[in-house]
Structure 1
Amino acid sequence: MGAFTGLWRWRHNSLRRTTDLVEAWVACVAFLLLVLGAPATGLWAGLRADDGLQHAARAQQAERRPVTARVVRVAEPSGQALQSPDAADEQRLRTAVVARWPAPDGSPRSGTVHSLDRDPEPGETFRIWTDAEGRAVPAPMRAGTARAHALFAGLFAASAVAVAAETARRTVVRGLIRRRYAELDLEWAGTGPDWGRAGTGC
Protein backbone atom coordinates (compact mmCIF):
# COMPACT_ATOMS: atom_id res chain seq x y z
CA MET A 1 0.00 0.00 0.00
CA GLY A 2 1.50 3.31 -1.11
CA ALA A 3 0.18 5.21 1.89
CA PHE A 4 2.66 3.38 4.11
CA THR A 5 5.65 3.88 1.79
CA GLY A 6 5.02 7.61 1.55
CA LEU A 7 5.52 8.13 5.28
CA TRP A 8 9.31 7.70 5.03
CA ARG A 9 9.54 11.08 3.30
CA TRP A 10 9.13 12.76 6.70
CA ARG A 11 12.70 11.79 7.56
CA HIS A 12 14.96 14.80 8.04
CA ASN A 13 17.73 15.00 5.46
CA SER A 14 19.27 17.62 3.23
CA LEU A 15 17.79 16.12 0.08
CA ARG A 16 14.17 16.30 1.21
CA ARG A 17 12.09 18.48 -1.06
CA THR A 18 8.79 20.27 -0.45
CA THR A 19 7.05 17.71 -2.63
CA ASP A 20 8.41 14.95 -0.39
CA LEU A 21 6.83 16.58 2.66
CA VAL A 22 3.53 17.05 0.81
CA GLU A 23 3.57 13.40 -0.22
CA ALA A 24 4.17 12.40 3.40
CA TRP A 25 1.15 14.39 4.57
CA VAL A 26 -0.98 12.93 1.78
CA ALA A 27 0.13 9.43 2.79
CA CYS A 28 -0.73 10.21 6.43
CA VAL A 29 -4.23 11.38 5.54
CA ALA A 30 -4.78 8.35 3.30
CA PHE A 31 -3.56 6.07 6.10
CA LEU A 32 -5.95 7.63 8.62
CA LEU A 33 -8.82 7.29 6.18
CA LEU A 34 -7.99 3.63 5.69
CA VAL A 35 -7.63 2.68 9.36
CA LEU A 36 -10.22 5.05 10.84
CA GLY A 37 -12.39 6.66 8.18
CA ALA A 38 -13.28 3.54 6.20
CA PRO A 39 -14.32 1.42 9.24
CA ALA A 40 -16.23 4.33 10.78
CA THR A 41 -18.07 5.01 7.54
CA GLY A 42 -18.84 1.32 7.07
CA LEU A 43 -20.15 1.04 10.63
CA TRP A 44 -22.29 4.15 10.27
CA ALA A 45 -23.70 3.06 6.90
CA GLY A 46 -24.33 -0.47 8.14
CA LEU A 47 -26.17 0.73 11.25
CA ARG A 48 -28.28 3.17 9.26
CA ALA A 49 -29.12 0.52 6.67
CA ASP A 50 -29.91 -2.03 9.37
CA ASP A 51 -32.22 0.41 11.15
CA GLY A 52 -34.12 1.16 7.95
CA LEU A 53 -34.29 -2.44 6.78
CA GLN A 54 -35.37 -3.75 10.19
CA HIS A 55 -38.14 -1.14 10.26
CA ALA A 56 -39.23 -2.23 6.76
CA ALA A 57 -39.09 -5.89 7.79
CA ARG A 58 -41.25 -5.26 10.86
CA ALA A 59 -43.74 -3.27 8.77
CA GLN A 60 -43.97 -6.07 6.20
CA GLN A 61 -44.40 -8.70 8.89
CA ALA A 62 -47.19 -6.65 10.45
CA GLU A 63 -48.98 -5.96 7.16
CA ARG A 64 -48.63 -9.29 5.39
CA ARG A 65 -50.16 -12.58 6.40
CA PRO A 66 -50.08 -16.11 5.00
CA VAL A 67 -53.25 -17.57 3.48
CA THR A 68 -54.08 -20.82 1.74
CA ALA A 69 -54.59 -20.52 -2.00
CA ARG A 70 -56.30 -23.13 -4.14
CA VAL A 71 -55.15 -23.91 -7.69
CA VAL A 72 -57.73 -23.25 -10.40
CA ARG A 73 -55.54 -24.05 -13.39
CA VAL A 74 -52.00 -23.69 -14.69
CA ALA A 75 -51.48 -20.21 -16.14
CA GLU A 76 -50.54 -19.74 -19.78
CA PRO A 77 -46.96 -18.45 -20.19
CA SER A 78 -46.81 -14.82 -21.25
CA GLY A 79 -44.54 -13.46 -23.95
CA GLN A 80 -42.89 -11.09 -21.46
CA ALA A 81 -42.02 -13.97 -19.14
CA LEU A 82 -40.46 -15.88 -22.01
CA GLN A 83 -38.33 -12.87 -22.98
CA SER A 84 -37.11 -12.05 -19.46
CA PRO A 85 -34.13 -14.08 -18.18
CA ASP A 86 -35.19 -13.51 -14.56
CA ALA A 87 -38.72 -14.63 -15.32
CA ALA A 88 -37.40 -17.64 -17.20
CA ASP A 89 -35.30 -18.67 -14.17
CA GLU A 90 -38.31 -18.27 -11.89
CA GLN A 91 -40.44 -20.26 -14.30
CA ARG A 92 -37.99 -23.16 -14.09
CA LEU A 93 -38.19 -23.15 -10.28
CA ARG A 94 -41.88 -22.34 -9.87
CA THR A 95 -45.07 -22.85 -11.82
CA ALA A 96 -47.43 -19.97 -12.54
CA VAL A 97 -51.01 -20.86 -11.69
CA VAL A 98 -54.34 -19.11 -11.51
CA ALA A 99 -55.49 -19.50 -7.90
CA ARG A 100 -58.16 -18.33 -5.48
CA TRP A 101 -57.69 -17.26 -1.88
CA PRO A 102 -59.60 -15.36 0.80
CA ALA A 103 -58.98 -11.69 1.58
CA PRO A 104 -58.74 -10.53 5.22
CA ASP A 105 -62.44 -9.59 5.15
CA GLY A 106 -63.35 -13.04 3.87
CA SER A 107 -64.15 -11.98 0.30
CA PRO A 108 -62.68 -14.16 -2.48
CA ARG A 109 -59.63 -13.06 -4.44
CA SER A 110 -58.02 -14.60 -7.50
CA GLY A 111 -54.99 -14.02 -9.64
CA THR A 112 -51.84 -15.48 -11.13
CA VAL A 113 -49.32 -16.59 -8.52
CA HIS A 114 -46.42 -19.02 -8.43
CA SER A 115 -46.57 -22.47 -6.86
CA LEU A 116 -43.53 -24.45 -5.74
CA ASP A 117 -45.15 -27.59 -7.16
CA ARG A 118 -43.75 -28.33 -10.62
CA ASP A 119 -46.97 -30.07 -11.72
CA PRO A 120 -49.85 -28.54 -9.75
CA GLU A 121 -53.30 -30.01 -10.18
CA PRO A 122 -56.58 -28.06 -9.92
CA GLY A 123 -57.81 -28.10 -6.35
CA GLU A 124 -54.36 -28.38 -4.76
CA THR A 125 -53.59 -25.88 -2.02
CA PHE A 126 -50.45 -23.99 -1.13
CA ARG A 127 -49.50 -20.99 0.97
CA ILE A 128 -49.10 -17.45 -0.32
CA TRP A 129 -48.68 -14.07 1.38
CA THR A 130 -51.22 -11.26 1.03
CA ASP A 131 -51.36 -7.60 2.07
CA ALA A 132 -54.13 -5.81 3.93
CA GLU A 133 -56.18 -5.58 0.72
CA GLY A 134 -55.88 -9.28 0.01
CA ARG A 135 -53.46 -8.90 -2.90
CA ALA A 136 -50.73 -11.48 -3.38
CA VAL A 137 -47.34 -10.12 -2.31
CA PRO A 138 -43.86 -11.56 -1.69
CA ALA A 139 -43.10 -13.03 1.72
CA PRO A 140 -42.08 -10.43 4.32
CA MET A 141 -38.40 -9.78 4.80
CA ARG A 142 -36.83 -11.61 7.71
CA ALA A 143 -34.71 -9.88 10.34
CA GLY A 144 -31.69 -11.99 9.39
CA THR A 145 -32.05 -11.07 5.72
CA ALA A 146 -32.28 -7.39 6.60
CA ARG A 147 -29.15 -7.68 8.74
CA ALA A 148 -27.26 -9.39 5.92
CA HIS A 149 -28.21 -6.61 3.48
CA ALA A 150 -27.10 -4.01 6.04
CA LEU A 151 -23.77 -5.81 6.45
CA PHE A 152 -23.17 -5.70 2.70
CA ALA A 153 -24.10 -2.01 2.67
CA GLY A 154 -21.55 -1.31 5.41
CA LEU A 155 -18.83 -3.27 3.64
CA PHE A 156 -19.55 -1.46 0.39
CA ALA A 157 -19.38 1.95 2.08
CA ALA A 158 -16.09 1.09 3.80
CA SER A 159 -14.62 -0.20 0.54
CA ALA A 160 -15.76 2.93 -1.30
CA VAL A 161 -13.96 5.18 1.22
CA ALA A 162 -10.80 3.06 1.01
CA VAL A 163 -10.81 3.10 -2.79
CA ALA A 164 -11.49 6.84 -2.89
CA ALA A 165 -8.65 7.55 -0.44
CA GLU A 166 -6.17 5.45 -2.39
CA THR A 167 -7.29 6.90 -5.73
CA ALA A 168 -6.92 10.46 -4.41
CA ARG A 169 -3.48 9.65 -2.98
CA ARG A 170 -2.29 8.19 -6.28
CA THR A 171 -3.63 11.21 -8.19
CA VAL A 172 -1.81 13.66 -5.92
CA VAL A 173 1.40 11.63 -6.03
CA ARG A 174 1.33 11.58 -9.83
CA GLY A 175 1.03 15.36 -9.82
CA LEU A 176 3.91 15.65 -7.38
CA ILE A 177 6.07 13.39 -9.53
CA ARG A 178 5.38 15.53 -12.58
CA ARG A 179 6.34 18.60 -10.56
CA ARG A 180 9.58 16.95 -9.42
CA TYR A 181 10.49 16.11 -13.00
CA ALA A 182 9.74 19.69 -14.06
CA GLU A 183 11.96 21.07 -11.27
CA LEU A 184 14.68 18.57 -12.15
CA ASP A 185 14.56 19.66 -15.80
CA LEU A 186 15.01 23.28 -14.74
CA GLU A 187 17.95 22.42 -12.50
CA TRP A 188 19.46 20.24 -15.21
CA ALA A 189 19.09 23.01 -17.76
CA GLY A 190 20.95 25.40 -15.47
CA THR A 191 23.73 22.90 -14.79
CA GLY A 192 24.23 21.75 -18.37
CA PRO A 193 26.35 24.70 -19.64
CA ASP A 194 29.01 23.94 -16.99
CA TRP A 195 29.72 20.42 -18.34
CA GLY A 196 33.47 19.89 -18.69
CA ARG A 197 34.26 23.09 -16.81
CA ALA A 198 33.73 21.98 -13.22
CA GLY A 199 34.81 24.58 -10.72
CA THR A 200 35.15 27.44 -13.26
CA GLY A 201 31.96 29.10 -12.08
CA CYS A 202 31.21 30.15 -15.65
Structure 2
Amino acid sequence: MRAAIGLWRWRHNPLRRSTDLVEAWVALAAAVLLCLAVPLTGWTVGTSAYGSLARAVRTQQEQRVATTARVVRLADGPVSGPKSVETAGEERLRRSVVAHWTAPDGSARTGTVATARQHSAPGASFRLWTDRTGHPVAPPMQPGTARAHAVVAGLTAALLAGLLVELVRRLAVRRLVVRRYARLDRAWAAAGPDWGRTGTGS
Protein backbone atom coordinates (compact mmCIF):
# COMPACT_ATOMS: atom_id res chain seq x y z
CA MET A 1 0.00 0.00 0.00
CA ARG A 2 1.59 3.20 -1.21
CA ALA A 3 -0.46 5.33 1.20
CA ALA A 4 1.82 4.26 4.05
CA ILE A 5 4.95 5.56 2.33
CA GLY A 6 4.24 9.11 3.51
CA LEU A 7 4.26 8.12 7.17
CA TRP A 8 8.06 8.49 7.35
CA ARG A 9 7.57 12.24 6.92
CA TRP A 10 6.65 12.48 10.60
CA ARG A 11 10.27 11.99 11.52
CA HIS A 12 11.76 15.07 13.13
CA ASN A 13 14.50 16.61 11.03
CA PRO A 14 15.44 20.17 10.10
CA LEU A 15 14.57 19.60 6.43
CA ARG A 16 10.96 18.61 7.06
CA ARG A 17 8.53 21.00 5.42
CA SER A 18 4.92 21.73 6.42
CA THR A 19 3.73 19.96 3.29
CA ASP A 20 5.63 16.84 4.40
CA LEU A 21 3.63 16.75 7.64
CA VAL A 22 0.36 17.28 5.76
CA GLU A 23 1.27 14.46 3.40
CA ALA A 24 1.92 12.20 6.39
CA TRP A 25 -1.52 12.96 7.80
CA VAL A 26 -3.10 12.31 4.40
CA ALA A 27 -1.32 8.95 4.24
CA LEU A 28 -2.50 8.04 7.75
CA ALA A 29 -6.09 9.01 6.97
CA ALA A 30 -6.00 6.94 3.76
CA ALA A 31 -4.59 3.94 5.63
CA VAL A 32 -7.30 4.15 8.29
CA LEU A 33 -10.03 4.45 5.67
CA LEU A 34 -8.65 1.50 3.69
CA CYS A 35 -8.49 -0.67 6.83
CA LEU A 36 -11.82 0.32 8.39
CA ALA A 37 -14.18 2.27 6.15
CA VAL A 38 -13.65 0.24 2.99
CA PRO A 39 -14.46 -3.18 4.56
CA LEU A 40 -17.38 -1.62 6.44
CA THR A 41 -18.74 -0.21 3.17
CA GLY A 42 -18.49 -3.60 1.48
CA TRP A 43 -20.14 -5.35 4.43
CA THR A 44 -22.98 -2.80 4.60
CA VAL A 45 -23.71 -2.94 0.87
CA GLY A 46 -23.47 -6.73 0.77
CA THR A 47 -25.77 -7.14 3.77
CA SER A 48 -28.31 -4.70 2.35
CA ALA A 49 -28.23 -6.40 -1.05
CA TYR A 50 -28.66 -9.82 0.52
CA GLY A 51 -31.64 -8.59 2.55
CA SER A 52 -33.34 -7.27 -0.58
CA LEU A 53 -32.54 -10.39 -2.60
CA ALA A 54 -33.67 -12.69 0.21
CA ARG A 55 -37.04 -10.90 0.28
CA ALA A 56 -37.27 -11.26 -3.50
CA VAL A 57 -36.51 -14.99 -3.19
CA ARG A 58 -39.25 -15.46 -0.60
CA THR A 59 -41.72 -13.49 -2.70
CA GLN A 60 -40.94 -15.49 -5.83
CA GLN A 61 -41.19 -18.78 -3.99
CA GLU A 62 -44.60 -17.75 -2.63
CA GLN A 63 -45.92 -16.54 -5.99
CA ARG A 64 -44.50 -19.20 -8.31
CA VAL A 65 -45.63 -22.80 -8.43
CA ALA A 66 -43.85 -25.79 -9.99
CA THR A 67 -45.90 -28.14 -12.12
CA THR A 68 -45.29 -30.88 -14.65
CA ALA A 69 -45.87 -30.06 -18.30
CA ARG A 70 -46.10 -32.50 -21.20
CA VAL A 71 -44.89 -31.71 -24.72
CA VAL A 72 -47.59 -31.83 -27.37
CA ARG A 73 -45.46 -30.87 -30.37
CA LEU A 74 -42.64 -28.58 -31.44
CA ALA A 75 -43.65 -24.93 -31.74
CA ASP A 76 -43.57 -23.07 -35.05
CA GLY A 77 -41.89 -20.01 -33.52
CA PRO A 78 -39.99 -18.90 -30.42
CA VAL A 79 -41.60 -18.23 -27.07
CA SER A 80 -43.20 -14.80 -26.94
CA GLY A 81 -42.87 -12.33 -24.09
CA PRO A 82 -40.00 -10.49 -22.39
CA LYS A 83 -36.66 -12.22 -22.19
CA SER A 84 -34.03 -11.85 -19.53
CA VAL A 85 -30.28 -11.89 -20.16
CA GLU A 86 -30.04 -15.41 -18.75
CA THR A 87 -32.93 -16.63 -20.92
CA ALA A 88 -31.41 -15.09 -24.04
CA GLY A 89 -28.10 -16.84 -23.33
CA GLU A 90 -29.81 -20.20 -22.89
CA GLU A 91 -31.92 -20.02 -26.06
CA ARG A 92 -29.42 -22.04 -28.07
CA LEU A 93 -29.74 -24.88 -25.52
CA ARG A 94 -33.55 -24.85 -25.46
CA ARG A 95 -36.44 -25.56 -27.81
CA SER A 96 -39.83 -23.90 -28.13
CA VAL A 97 -42.62 -26.45 -27.72
CA VAL A 98 -46.38 -26.49 -27.38
CA ALA A 99 -47.04 -28.03 -23.98
CA HIS A 100 -49.96 -28.95 -21.80
CA TRP A 101 -50.00 -28.35 -18.02
CA THR A 102 -52.35 -27.87 -15.10
CA ALA A 103 -52.69 -24.46 -13.46
CA PRO A 104 -52.72 -24.06 -9.65
CA ASP A 105 -56.52 -23.70 -9.75
CA GLY A 106 -56.79 -27.11 -11.47
CA SER A 107 -57.65 -25.84 -14.95
CA ALA A 108 -55.91 -27.28 -18.00
CA ARG A 109 -53.60 -24.95 -19.92
CA THR A 110 -51.85 -25.22 -23.29
CA GLY A 111 -49.24 -22.82 -24.63
CA THR A 112 -45.82 -22.29 -26.15
CA VAL A 113 -42.97 -22.58 -23.67
CA ALA A 114 -39.23 -23.25 -23.76
CA THR A 115 -37.68 -26.47 -22.54
CA ALA A 116 -34.34 -28.25 -22.72
CA ARG A 117 -33.69 -29.93 -26.03
CA GLN A 118 -33.61 -33.40 -24.46
CA HIS A 119 -37.18 -32.82 -23.22
CA SER A 120 -38.57 -31.50 -26.51
CA ALA A 121 -39.86 -34.78 -27.98
CA PRO A 122 -43.68 -35.12 -28.12
CA GLY A 123 -44.92 -36.82 -24.98
CA ALA A 124 -41.87 -35.83 -22.90
CA SER A 125 -42.57 -34.27 -19.51
CA PHE A 126 -40.60 -31.48 -17.86
CA ARG A 127 -40.81 -29.14 -14.90
CA LEU A 128 -42.57 -25.85 -15.54
CA TRP A 129 -42.95 -22.87 -13.23
CA THR A 130 -46.15 -20.82 -13.36
CA ASP A 131 -47.63 -17.92 -11.44
CA ARG A 132 -50.81 -18.24 -9.39
CA THR A 133 -52.92 -17.72 -12.51
CA GLY A 134 -51.18 -20.51 -14.41
CA HIS A 135 -49.06 -18.42 -16.80
CA PRO A 136 -45.48 -19.69 -17.37
CA VAL A 137 -42.78 -17.71 -15.55
CA ALA A 138 -39.06 -18.05 -14.89
CA PRO A 139 -38.00 -20.28 -11.98
CA PRO A 140 -37.64 -18.47 -8.64
CA MET A 141 -34.19 -17.31 -7.66
CA GLN A 142 -32.32 -19.77 -5.48
CA PRO A 143 -30.96 -18.66 -2.05
CA GLY A 144 -27.43 -19.55 -3.17
CA THR A 145 -27.77 -17.25 -6.18
CA ALA A 146 -28.96 -14.43 -3.90
CA ARG A 147 -25.93 -14.92 -1.64
CA ALA A 148 -23.57 -14.92 -4.62
CA HIS A 149 -25.07 -11.67 -5.97
CA ALA A 150 -24.82 -10.08 -2.51
CA VAL A 151 -21.15 -11.08 -2.19
CA VAL A 152 -20.39 -9.61 -5.61
CA ALA A 153 -22.21 -6.39 -4.69
CA GLY A 154 -20.27 -6.10 -1.42
CA LEU A 155 -16.90 -6.75 -3.06
CA THR A 156 -17.68 -4.26 -5.83
CA ALA A 157 -18.66 -1.59 -3.30
CA ALA A 158 -15.50 -2.21 -1.26
CA LEU A 159 -13.35 -2.02 -4.40
CA LEU A 160 -14.96 1.23 -5.53
CA ALA A 161 -14.58 2.72 -2.05
CA GLY A 162 -10.91 1.73 -1.97
CA LEU A 163 -10.33 3.26 -5.40
CA LEU A 164 -12.06 6.46 -4.27
CA VAL A 165 -9.84 6.71 -1.17
CA GLU A 166 -6.70 6.15 -3.24
CA LEU A 167 -7.84 8.69 -5.86
CA VAL A 168 -8.46 11.35 -3.20
CA ARG A 169 -5.07 10.59 -1.62
CA ARG A 170 -3.28 10.93 -4.94
CA LEU A 171 -5.04 14.20 -5.75
CA ALA A 172 -4.14 15.60 -2.32
CA VAL A 173 -0.49 14.56 -2.68
CA ARG A 174 -0.38 16.03 -6.16
CA ARG A 175 -1.59 19.39 -4.87
CA LEU A 176 1.01 19.26 -2.10
CA VAL A 177 3.75 18.53 -4.63
CA VAL A 178 2.60 21.45 -6.80
CA ARG A 179 2.72 23.77 -3.79
CA ARG A 180 6.15 22.41 -2.84
CA TYR A 181 7.57 23.10 -6.30
CA ALA A 182 5.97 26.56 -6.35
CA ARG A 183 7.73 27.44 -3.07
CA LEU A 184 10.98 26.05 -4.41
CA ASP A 185 10.66 28.15 -7.56
CA ARG A 186 10.07 31.27 -5.51
CA ALA A 187 13.09 30.48 -3.32
CA TRP A 188 15.30 29.96 -6.38
CA ALA A 189 14.03 33.17 -7.93
CA ALA A 190 14.92 35.07 -4.77
CA ALA A 191 18.42 33.55 -4.55
CA GLY A 192 19.07 33.60 -8.27
CA PRO A 193 20.77 37.03 -8.62
CA ASP A 194 23.39 36.12 -6.01
CA TRP A 195 23.84 32.46 -6.97
CA GLY A 196 27.45 31.54 -7.66
CA ARG A 197 29.00 34.86 -6.73
CA THR A 198 32.16 34.72 -4.67
CA GLY A 199 31.79 36.40 -1.31
CA THR A 200 28.02 36.77 -1.58
CA GLY A 201 26.63 38.11 1.66
CA SER A 202 30.05 39.13 3.00
User: Same fold by TM-score, threshold 0.5 exceeded?
Assistant: yes
The aligned amino acid for 1:98 is V
What are the within-5 Å matches in structure 2 for residues 115-134 of structure 1? 115-118=115-118, 120-134=120-134
Q: Is the 8 A contact 2:119 2:125 kept in 1?
A: no
Q: Is the 8 A contact 1:70 1:123 kept in 2?
A: yes
Q: Secondary structure at the match of 1:14?
A: coil
Q: Distance in 2 between the 1:97 and 1:151 partners?
A: 37
For the pair 1:97 / 2:97, whether they are aligned, the reply is yes
Q: Is the 8 A contact 1:33 1:161 kept in 2?
A: no
Q: Distance in 2 between the 1:170 and 1:95 partners?
A: 54
Q: How high is the TM-score relative to the length of structure 2?
A: 0.89
For the pair 1:46 / 2:59, whether they are aligned, the reply is no
Deviation larger for 89-98 or 7-16: 89-98
Q: Secondary structure at the match of 1:141?
A: coil
CA RMSD of aligned residues (A): 2.5
Q: Distance in 2 between the 1:11 and 1:33 partners?
A: 22
What are the within-5 Å matches in structure 2 for residues 119-158 of structure 1? 120-158=120-158
Match of 1:114 in 2: 114
Q: How high is the TM-score relative to the length of structure 1?
A: 0.89
Paired positions, count? 200
For the pair 1:192 / 2:188, whether they are aligned, the reply is no
Deviation larger for 102-111 or 116-125: 116-125
Match of 1:56 in 2: 56
Indicate the percent of aligned positions where both proteins have the same amino acid.
55
What are the within-5 Å matches in structure 2 for residues 16-55 of structure 1? 16-55=16-55
Q: Secondary structure at the match of 2:109?
A: strand
How far did residue 77 of structure 1 move?
4.2
Q: Is the 8 A contact 2:119 2:126 kept in 1?
A: no
Structure 1 unaligned segments of length 5 or more: list them.
none
Q: Distance in 2 between the 1:198 and 1:24 partners?
A: 39
What are the within-5 Å matches in structure 2 for residues 155-194 of structure 1? 155-194=155-194
Q: Distance in 2 between the 1:97 and 1:22 partners?
A: 70
Q: Distance in 2 between the 1:198 and 1:14 partners?
A: 27
Q: Secondary structure at the match of 1:43?
A: helix
